[in-house]
């Protein structure tokens, strides 16, 4: 008995298309626990110095950097001013006038520092 083999077809097999619909997955993103925003106050600093001086504000709020916050004599009257935003707290500071560190002569609140000189203190409520 002879077994006949099926003739091979030259036609390529028809690919079967899947009818699966893919829906986008919505991932829940947890927001990092946020602390309530701390209100800051705009605080003015001023000091009298000779016209043409280089005046800076340094303190606990800027890591005592003697050149971080320059003050300006906007009215050319020898009064140097600047404004910074501070959160409630207690801050020590000094003015640096032409390289010389000076306590604020108008501030009655001060503390002695580790150098044996005085730091002015500003309380922000």
Question: Rounded to whole angstroms, how far apart are CA atoms 56 and 102?
Answer: 10
CATH code: domain of residue 52:
2.60.40.10
What is the pairing mode between strands 69-71 and 55-59? Answer: antiparallel
Tally of domains in the chain: 1
9 is a domain residue:
no
pTM of the model: 0.70
Q: Does residue 1 surpass a pLDDT of 60? A: no
Look at residue 94 and tell me if it is in a domain: yes
**Structural domain that includes position 94:** 41-124
pLDDT tens per residue, range 8-47: 555 555 555 555 565 666 655 555 566 667 899 999 999 9
Residue 110 domain flag: yes
């Amino acid at each position: 008995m002879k077994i006949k083999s099926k003739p091979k077809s030259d036609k390529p097999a028809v690919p079967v298309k899947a009818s699966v619909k893919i829906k986008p997955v919505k991932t829940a993103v947890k927001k990092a626990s946020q602390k309530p925003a701390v209100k800051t106050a705009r605080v003015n600093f001023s000091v009298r110095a000779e016209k043409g001086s280089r005046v800076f504000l340094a303190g606990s709020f800027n890591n005592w950097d003697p050149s971080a916050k320059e003050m300006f004599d906007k009215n050319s009257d020898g009064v140097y001013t600047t404004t910074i935003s501070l959160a409630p707290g207690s801050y020590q500071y000094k003015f640096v006038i032409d390289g010389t560190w000076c306590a604020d002569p108008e501030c009655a609140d001060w503390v002695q520092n580790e150098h044996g000189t005085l730091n002015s203190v500003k309380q922000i409520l």
